[in-house]
Every structure is written in structure tokens, then in C-alpha cells.
């Protein structure tokens, strides 16, 4: 997993053999640390559909999502910490449709750009306490 994170941090213009490629982590269980700090997601897709985050820390701090697709649909977040501090969402797709939050924590408090797809709870349903969002992303009255 560390090697995967390292490849996404190689500066643009350098040899990035996986940039624009697809990475399928469908159904994987992540119970340790995984570091995507400063990663650039600008093409291809990274698929965490159905993944289970049950421990450790998965860090997307200062990552840039400017193209491509990063998908967390139907993923389960029931332990550990997932952080998006200082991440930038400026294009492409970052989705959490159908994700289940039942433990651990996830933070989006210091980010730039629009809220990821599927992250906000339906009207009348509170955002799970494990998820900390930017205040301007919260539904009115939250």
C-alpha cells in the first residue's frame, strides 16, 4: 500500500508510470496506515468501492483531485481515521454514494472546492458524527 501512495506523489512531469491508470481496490480491507499525502489524481480511476476502513490512518492531506475518478461508493468506514486536510477538489469525480459511516472518523474541514458526490446526508438526515465537513457544505439548519 505504501508503494501505491508513493507513486501518486511523484511530481507531475517526472516518470509517473501509474498516472492516468486505473487502480482497483474494490472490496479491500484497510486496517493499517496508507499515505496519499500530496497525491495528484488527474486521470484514470482509483476504486475503493465496497472497501472497508477498519483501522489505521488513511491520509489524503494536500492531495489534488483535478481529474479522473476516485470512488468510495458503498465503502464501510467503521474504524480508523481518514483525512482530507488541505485537499483540493477542482475537477473529476470523488464519490461516496452509499458509503456507511459507523465508527472511526473522517475530516474534510480544511479543503478547497465543492463537496464530494454522495457525502452529504439526505435532507432531514444528520451527517454522521464521525464525518467532519466544512461548514459551508452542511445543509441549512445543521
Domain that holds residue 55: 2-11+19-113
The number of domains in the chain is: 1
Mean pLDDT of 98-127: 79
Within-domain flag for 131: no
pLDDT of 8 strictly over 70: no
Within-domain flag for 84: yes
Within-domain flag for 38: yes
Q: What pLDDT, on a 0 to 100 scale, did the predictor assign at position 27?
A: 93
Q: Is the pTM of this model over 0.85?
A: no
Q: What pLDDT, on a 0 to 100 scale, did the predictor assign at position 17?
A: 46
* Angle formed at CA 101 by CA 97 and CA 106, multiple of 5 degrees: 95
Q: What pLDDT, on a 0 to 100 scale, did the predictor assign at position 52?
A: 92
| Of 93 and 21, the one with more pLDDT | 93
CB 128 within 8 A of CB 106: no
CB 58 within 8 A of CB 29: no
Amino acid at each position: 500500500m505504501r508503494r501505491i501512495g508513493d507513486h501518486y506523489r511523484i511530481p507531475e512531469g517526472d516518470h509517473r508510470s501509474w498516472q492516468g491508470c486505473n487502480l482497483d481496490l474494490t472490496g479491500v480491507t484497510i486496517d493499517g496506515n496508507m499515505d496519499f499525502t500530496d497525491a495528484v489524481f488527474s486521470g484514470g480511476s482509483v476504486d475503493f468501492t465496497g472497501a472497508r476502513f477498519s483501522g489505521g490512518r488513511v491520509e489524503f492531506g494536500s492531495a489534488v483531485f483535478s481529474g479522473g475518478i476516485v470512488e468510495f461508493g458503498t465503502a464501510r468506514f467503521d474504524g480508523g481515521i481518514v483525512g482530507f486536510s488541505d485537499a483540493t477538489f477542482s475537477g473529476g469525480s470523488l464519490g461516496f454514494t452509499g458509503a456507511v459511516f459507523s465508527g472511526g472518523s473522517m475530516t474534510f474541514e480544511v479543503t478547497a472546492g465543492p463537496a464530494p458526490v454522495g457525502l452529504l446526508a439526505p435532507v432531514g438526515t444528520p451527517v454522521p458524527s464521525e464525518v467532519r465537513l466544512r461548514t459551508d457544505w452542511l445543509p441549512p439548519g445543521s
